[in-house]
């Protein structure tokens, strides 16, 4: 399986226990800087950009086995015998797949608001809305946000997505390859068949947003029988942004 070398940000004392934070679809390491800095007093925190995200290399294949292979390469390159993993959404699925495929490399597993299942939602509207933006006519980010509003009404989600819009040589362009995202999005909503893998019996914590419906206990038990489930009230899918104090406290106590 072809892997890529992941770009990353790093926080904390290298003598502390390692913790790798994995972001979600359309996100990057920059979205986790605040949480990484909070955790850096106790951990040596790595926050990589997954393939096709941030400043990591692009690759036409994007699924959980390939992204987990990138992560294992990242772990091996840093001579980490075992590491803690904290993954949100897509990053949570990457973390879960690595824990199932290479359990001896995972110390503790924390999964934020996602389960090891295939979801029925589609990213088509999001990707097509971004592809439809007339980049040649855009002179500032506010204009892009206004043009996107009819297709993506939620302001915070628009602003999140537009972090991928960058100015290069005086012109706006996408940092991500939207054609790859469009082709590979079904893989992101899915979760690979794990029937050939043993359940992960290590320490695992699933953290769900109280206002989110992504995580149900019955979806976790078969593959992660020892996992605990904590729910954060007044938080949705972006629980680490909406309740950063509670989220960080749960991670540290676990």
Active-site residue list? 89, 179, 237
189 touches 119 (CB < 8 A): yes
Q: 10 Å Cβ neighbour count for 228?
A: 13
Would you list the DSSP string of 30-79?
GGGHHHHHHHTTTEEEEEEPPTTSTTSPP-S---HHHHHHHHHHHHHHTT
Q: How many residues does the chain have?
A: 254
Which SS3 state, helix, strand or coil, does residue 186 take?
Answer: helix
3-state SS class at 252: helix
What is the C-alpha R_g of the chain? Answer: 18
Evaluated on CA atoms 28, 33, 35, 37, the torsion sign reads positive
| 8 A C-beta contact, residue 222 and residue 199 | yes
């Amino acid at each position: 399986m072809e892997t890529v070398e992941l770009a990353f940000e790093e926080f904390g004392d290298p003598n502390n226990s390692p913790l790798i934070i994995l972001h979600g679809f359309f996100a990057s390491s920059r979205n986790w800087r605040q949480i990484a800095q909070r955790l850096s007093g106790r951990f040596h925190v790595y926050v990589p950009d997954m393939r096709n995200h941030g400043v990591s290399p692009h690759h036409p294949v994007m699924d959980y086995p390939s992204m987990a292979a990138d992560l294992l390469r990242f772990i091996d390159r840093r001579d980490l015998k075992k590491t803690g993993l904290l993954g949100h959404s897509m990053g949570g699925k990457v973390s879960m797949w690595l824990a199932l495929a290479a359990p001896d490399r995972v110390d503790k597993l924390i999964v934020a608001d996602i389960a090891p299942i295939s979801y029925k939602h589609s990213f088509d509207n999001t990707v097509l809305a971004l592809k439809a933006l007339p980049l040649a006519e855009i002179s500032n980010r506010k204009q892009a946000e206004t043009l996107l509003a009819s297709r993506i009404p939620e302001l915070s989600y628009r602003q999140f997505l537009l972090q991928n819009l960058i100015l290069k040589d005086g012109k706006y362009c996408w940092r991500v390859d939207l054609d790859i995202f469009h082709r590979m999005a079904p893989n992101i909503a899915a979760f690979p068949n794990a029937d050939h893998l043993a359940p992960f019996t290590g320490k695992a914590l699933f953290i769900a947003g109280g206002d989110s419906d992504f995580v149900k206990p019955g979806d976790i038990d078969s593959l992660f029988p020892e996992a605990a489930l904590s729910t954060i009230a007044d938080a949705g899918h972006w629980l680490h942004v909406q309740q950063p104090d509670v989220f960080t406290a749960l991670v540290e106590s676990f």
